[in-house]
Amino acid sequence: MSHAEYHYREYQRITQAHIDSKLHTGSDIWEVTSPTSDEEANRMATFYIECEAHLYAFLQAVHAAADNLAHVVYYVLGLNLGAGIKGRVSLDSIEKHVGKMAQTTPTLIPVANLLSELKRASTFVDLNDLVNHLKHHGGPSVGISLQPSADKAYEIQFGSFLRDSQHRGAISANQFLADSHQVLNVAIVNVGIALGTWLESSVSQKALTWGFAKSPDEPTEAVAPTRSPQST
């Protein structure tokens, strides 16, 4: 997420230098985006290249955070110790596996629900489609919509593209970045809280099972476990 935020700042810096600063000094948006010399055309082309590079990197970083989150769940729940996970660890594989675990372990229901909410969130579905299109087809392109509304001189947009034979229309880059960052940021925090709650419940249950539970006033004594530690 820090990588994504870095690329967002660079995207803002480039846009400010190439467009906003000129508008601030009185230039017209049509003049800024309509080069009249080879030098201006080269600067415009460089702007698009740099702008696309940082926008694409932002989306890929946020998208990767979902699978990073899946790895957190994977290790916190001890699934690396042999719980039948086959193939690579991803949001999709962990969401399915934890959903099955929650059917017999009710304390995992909040974790399972949060993973399912993220996977099915419309913003994440759109992010997944866009990043996979970018990865396999090298797009969509980034363009500028001039005077899209009465109060906006321009809007940077991701262009339209086809994904699974479905048309995806052009969308505001700024809005999509904000929505994508928010849906992952909220999921990371909420899953972390749910995992912490599950850990507390799991540790308390093991303490009761092993005979470790005692009142605060009881002296601390060494208690032999009632079963092999290897089974935990």
Dump pLDDT digits (tens) for 90-145.
Answer: 999 999 999 999 999 999 999 999 999 999 999 999 999 999 999 888 889 999 99
pLDDT classification of 207: cutoffs 50, 70, 90: low
pLDDT per position as a tens digit, 30-48: 999 998 999 999 999 999 9
Beta strands in the chain (DSSP E): 142-149, 152-158, 161-163, 166-168, 171-172
* All residues at 6 or more sequence positions from 183 whose CB lies less than 8 Å from its CB, including other chains: 118, 121, 123, 124, 127
pLDDT per position as a tens digit, 83-95: 667 778 999 999 9
pLDDT classification of 223: cutoffs 50, 70, 90: very low
Supply the pLDDT for residue 202. 81
Model confidence pTM above 0.85: no
Mean pLDDT, residues 216-232 taken together: 44
Q: Is the pLDDT of residue 208 over 90?
A: no
**Percent helix, percent strand, percent coil in the chain, to nearest 5:** 65, 10, 25
Supply the pLDDT for residue 162. 86
Supply the pLDDT for residue 81. 87
Q: Which residues of 48-63 are buried (b: 16+ CB within 10 A; e: fewer)?
A: bebbbebbbbbbbbbb
Supply the pLDDT for residue 150. 86
Q: How far apart are CA 92 and CA 208, in angstroms?
A: 34
Count: domains in the chain: 1
Q: How far apart are CA 91 and CA 67, in angstroms?
A: 5
pLDDT classification of 212: cutoffs 50, 70, 90: low
Mean pLDDT, residues 193-200 taken together: 94
What are the CA-CA distances from residue 228 to residues 6, 100, 232 (Å)?
Answer: 48, 26, 8
Supply the pLDDT for residue 49. 95
Mean pLDDT, residues 180-206 taken together: 91
Q: Is the pLDDT of residue 219 over 90?
A: no
- Domain of 154 in residue numbering reads as 2-231
pLDDT classification of 227: cutoffs 50, 70, 90: very low
pLDDT per position as a tens digit, 140-190: 999 999 988 888 999 999 999 888 888 889 999 999 999 999 999 999 999
Q: How far apart are CA 59 and CA 42, in angstroms?
A: 26
Supply the pLDDT for residue 217. 53
Q: How many CB atoms lie within 10 A of CB 181?
A: 21
Pairing of strands 152-158, 171-172: antiparallel
Structure tokens at 54: 């940082």
Supply the pLDDT for residue 225. 39
Structure tokens at 11: 């995207």
Rounded (5°) CA angle 181-8-26: 125
Structure tokens at 216: 């605060």
Q: Is the pLDDT of residue 232 over 70?
A: no
